[in-house]
Structure 1
């Protein structure tokens, strides 16, 4: 992902600088940067699923008993797997269609764009399937039953709320603001 970001920045900067300074740019830079951007976004989505940083609402699931949390996890993952199956099917169809179409400057097949969706759906499906296998084999910790990981900021806010509810903080100097 970092390499793709670097390629995008270098190509777009070189193209803009070339047009400004020399009156001409690198024609292929826009197509390659667009392709790199698409792949960057889709690979980032895979990483977000793996790191559990995708958007999710967990306030109900956190309050459920363990058995209900497990049931929610199974139902949710099965629905996600179905959606990923549909996404993979559509991406595959677009790969097939794109094989016969090419970008005008670089002559890269348009299937390269749709392949990002196919790779993403397969990778995400593998991650969600692995979660189900871990759940059914008893190797999933209770803390993992809620699939959304809190950010550091949210944890700091909760700590502040606990300190405030307890009547103050020992971490502050005690001076009035």
Structure 2
């Protein structure tokens, strides 16, 4: 399991770097769009398609990065009042729930796969380029949650170990 945890750590770092590159491309693209609209009165044809694709991938890649480092949005008011054993139990319930949710998302994607033949109008980006992004999030997220359950790891990486 420690090998899988190490592999997931490398995946998390790669996702972070990819997301940073995509975010940079997104900022430059939107800036170019604004400047061209202001100067020429016309924007870049198809920029909305590319923006939607990039945002989709950033969201799903970073969801795993944040889950692994335990920096995702979570409300812990009730859990923080519990003793350490009860808190650990709540974390196990959360991890088991993430494994089940990951399996459910993959099953739903499998059921709709045959209907993903659409393409965007300008660049003809296949719909699968958008719909495959959850796989890159939920598969490693489910594996990380499984590692957390089996190893009893309450935090995959210590706070501040990754430069998110």
| Same structural fold, with TM-score higher than 0.5 when normalized by the shorter chain | yes
In the alignment, structure 2 segments of 5+ residues that lack a partner are 1-18
Aligned length: 140
User: Which of these residues, 78, 83, 88, is aligned with residue 106 of structure 2?
Assistant: 88
Q: 1:46-57 alignment to 2 at 5 Å?
A: 46-57=64-75
**For residue 15 of structure 2, what is the aligned residue in structure 1?**
none
**For residue 115 of structure 1, what is the aligned residue in structure 2?**
132
User: Which of these residues, 129, 132, 141, is aligned with residue 146 of structure 2?
Assistant: 129
2-side partners of 1:96 and 1:123: how far apart? Answer: 24
Choose between structure 1 and 2 for higher RCO, CA contacts under 8 A separated by at least 6 residues: 2
**For residue 157 of structure 1, what is the aligned residue in structure 2?**
none
Tell me, yes or no, if the aligned pair for 1:19 and 1:25 is still in contact at 8 Å: yes
Q: Check 1:10–1:50 CA distance in 2 against 1; reply closer, same or farther (3 A cut).
A: same
Greater radius of gyration (CA): 1
TM-score, with structure 2 as normaliser: 0.72
2-side partners of 1:52 and 1:130: how far apart? Answer: 14
Tell me, yes or no, if the aligned pair for 1:28 and 1:106 is still in contact at 8 Å: yes
1:73 partner SS: helix
